[in-house]
Amino acid sequence: MRGPSSAVTDEEEICGYPMALTSRIEKLMAFENPRSNIYSLATLLPTASWGRNDPYSNRSKMLCNPVSNEPILIWMVGHVSATWFLRNGQPDRQCSVTIVPLFKHLCQQALRLLSGFSHPPLPSADTPPSVVRASRWQSSKHGETSSLFSSVYDAREVFRAKTEMGLYPAMELKKRDLVLLEVKLIQYFVKDNNSRFLILGVFSASGT
């Protein structure tokens, strides 16, 4: 499912940024690296599908490259709209980051992606969404003590491999900060009011 092939950013979202930063943003928004299974939302592998359950790893609940069965990492660039990490001053079981993508059509692209991999498909909204939310567990399913999500990297000066960038405190993220979210599309089963199990696609922040 490819996104629009023309401009990938809205001018008002990057107005005032230096030319060098604008160029950098444009490249990230159109990025794809098939060898590493990394795609921007606008260049997502059109054959992507739920993975397979093989004897060594169950990828059936992750969006994967159908050839390699490796999970696909999706890049989305935008401004922070909201964050959630703590409850009553302590790391909550689940955290989330909500962004306003730099291209409005990418919100619709994200919704189509989530709807297309949900069953039944998500209902279309009268008002197109303006934000995209990614979540991540901060505790295990066994109820262990939650620990603050720490896979946030400082790319303010230079963007390179994560192992070559310093960490950035998650709690210092604030509204309107420019960020790149790296997410996976994960499958969840939820029960509706009629006790039927539904398949719901959810963006999950990468922790690598």
Spans of all domains in the chain: 11-205
pTM: 0.84
Q: So what's the pLDDT on residue 5?
A: 38
Percentage with pLDDT > 70 across the chain: 83
Tens-place pLDDT, residues 96-137: 999 998 887 888 888 888 888 887 777 665 555 688 999 998
Structure tokens at 207: 């922790």
Whole-angstrom distance, CA of residue 17 vs CA of residue 149: 29
Rounded mean pLDDT of 160-175?
A: 93
| 167 vs 116, more confident | 167
Rounded mean pLDDT of 35-39?
A: 94
Are 103 and 7 in contact by the 8 Å Cβ rule? The answer is: yes
Structure tokens at 24: 């950098």
Tens-place pLDDT, residues 172-181: 999 999 999 9
Is 98 strand, coil or helix? strand
Q: DSSP letter at 136?
A: E
| Lowest pLDDT segment from 22-36, 44-58, 102-116 | 102-116
Long-range CB pairs of 24-33, under 8 A, 24+ apart, other chains included: 24/159, 25/77, 25/102, 25/178, 28/75, 28/77, 28/159, 28/180, 29/77, 29/102, 29/103, 31/75
